[in-house]
Amino acid sequence: MVVARYCKWVGLAVALGWGATAVAQTQATLNAEKNRLARMEQSLENRMVEAEDFENELLAYDYKLGEARDSLEEARENYEQSRIELTRAEREHKRNADTNSERQLRKAKHAFKMAQRGVDSRSRRVEIIQSNYEELKAEEQSVQQAIARSRDRIAAQKSKVDGLVAAMLQKAESARRAEKLAKSQPPVKKPELPEPSMAKAAEAQDTGSSAAAQGEALDEIDEELLAYVKREQARLKELMAEKGEGQGTHTFKSLTLESSRGDPHDFEFLGHNQYRVVAPVEAGLQTYEVSGFSTLKFRRTIPAEDAGKNYVFILDARRLSRPRLIMYPEYALSYLD
């Protein structure tokens, strides 16, 4: 009888040990999935900024295209008028072949030739702007499709996190009930039995904790974030390779990055109105302000796993009305080909 009661007590103890391990493992998995969700949200924010930039570019090209078409229409009217003047001058010269009519004919021919060039050049300008507009529109649609995919991924990830929360709560409740049942059992004297397998449970718990710790030690990067870093690195490399006007443009002599939580850091001028700084970040929703640039503020989400890690900040100030703040974890650079 005593042996049976003792075996029951051992079973409860083992159940408690495994229950605690299961809860700990679920918590570690939950933390990892929450960080993965934060990274997806971070990538979505980057995509939203890109989409806004494309919208602004498209608005600018709409204006340029309208101006170019108006200019082309004026050139065509001028061409038609010069054609009429040329026909009149040719007719007049046939009727009265004198020095005055010859001079008027030369002027009419020159005006007609210049009008033709005007139509040709303005037609090419409309074609170039239209082509650039269509390319931008295609890129903007691609970004919008990526945003839709990101939102689907985030929705699926949120469901996964909710499921893990429910599972953790269920395991915690099971552990609580087992603990309550164990406490309700009267203590019994230990009979002469082989040592129970509590050590195995502890070993499994240590193994699970070690695996979780190793997983946390690795920096995870979202595929969308990596693609974003590659695009921005390529953009900056191409821009820095450009020579001539704008290379030494240094609109702001001093710019400082300030966050809602953290010390200020000064930007370094790269050229072409690009400014860079590397600074540690805090987790959660952050507000970054660039002092020296009026009251420019940016809001970004930082995953919990990135707390205290260095981020690269690049301020693109070529367009003063709509400056961009590009930011990504510094360790992402090690993933580039």
24 falls in which pLDDT band (50, 70, 90)? low
Instruction: Say yes or no to pLDDT of 4 above 60.
Output: no
Structural domain count, the chain = 2
Q: Are residues 94 and 150 in the same domain?
A: yes
Confidence (pLDDT) at 216: 43
Instruction: Say yes or no to pLDDT of 77 above 80.
Output: yes
Confidence (pLDDT) at 323: 86
Q: Are residues 178 and 265 in the same domain?
A: no
Confidence (pLDDT) at 129: 93
Selected residue with higher pLDDT from 32 and 222: 32
194 falls in which pLDDT band (50, 70, 90)? low
Q: Are residues 155 and 264 in the same domain?
A: no
13 falls in which pLDDT band (50, 70, 90)? very low
Q: Are residues 175 and 234 in the same domain?
A: no
Q: Are residues 19 and 162 in the same domain?
A: yes
Report the CATH number at residue 205.
1.10.287.2610
The identity of residue 135, as a single letter, is E
Mean of per-residue pLDDT scores for the chain: 81
Q: Are residues 318 and 260 in the same domain?
A: yes
Instruction: Say yes or no to pLDDT of 142 above 70.
Output: yes
Q: Are residues 34 and 154 in the same domain?
A: yes
Selected residue with higher pLDDT from 167 and 110: 110
272, 243 contact by CB (below 8 A): no
Question: Which of 234, 223, 214, 236 is CA-nearest to residue 335?
Answer: 223
Mean pLDDT of 210-234: 69
313, 257 contact by CB (below 8 A): yes
Confidence (pLDDT) at 6: 45
Q: Are residues 229 and 208 in the same domain?
A: no
Q: Are residues 159 and 230 in the same domain?
A: no
SS (H, E, C) 92-133: HHHHCCCHHHHHHHHHHHHHHHHHHHHHHHHHHHHHHHHHHH
171 falls in which pLDDT band (50, 70, 90)? confident
32-46, 123-137, 168-182, 303-317: least confidently modelled range = 168-182
This prediction has a pTM of 0.64
Q: Are residues 271 and 323 in the same domain?
A: yes
Q: Are residues 243 and 281 in the same domain?
A: yes
73 falls in which pLDDT band (50, 70, 90)? very high
The identity of residue 292, as a single letter, is G
Instruction: Say yes or no to pLDDT of 197 above 70.
Output: no
Domain that residue 108 falls in = 2-190+198-214
Instruction: Say yes or no to pLDDT of 121 above 90.
Output: yes
191 falls in which pLDDT band (50, 70, 90)? low
The tens digit of pLDDT for each residue in 261-319 reads: 778 999 999 999 899 999 999 998 889 999 886 668 888 889 988 999 999 999 998 88
Confidence (pLDDT) at 214: 43
Confidence (pLDDT) at 328: 93
Confidence (pLDDT) at 11: 46
Q: Where are the beta strands (DSSP E) in 238-323?
A: 256-259, 265-266, 268-271, 274-280, 284-291, 296-302, 310-316
Q: Is 227 exposed, middle or buried (0-12, 13-18, 19+ CB in 10 A)?
A: middle
Selected residue with higher pLDDT from 220 and 270: 270
Confidence (pLDDT) at 190: 52
86, 112 contact by CB (below 8 A): yes
Encode burial over 112-151: b for 16+ CB neighbours within 10 A, e otherwise: beebeebbeebeebbeebeeebeebeeebeebeebbeebe
Q: Are residues 261 and 117 in the same domain?
A: no
Q: What is the DSSP letter of 248?
A: T
Instruction: Say yes or no to pLDDT of 215 above 50.
Output: no
Instruction: Say yes or no to pLDDT of 16 above 80.
Output: no
Instruction: Say yes or no to pLDDT of 15 above 60.
Output: no
Instruction: Say yes or no to pLDDT of 23 above 70.
Output: no
Instruction: Say yes or no to pLDDT of 148 above 70.
Output: yes
The tens digit of pLDDT for each residue in 43-68 reads: 888 888 888 888 888 988 899 999 99
Q: Where are the beta strands (DSSP E) in 33-98?
A: none
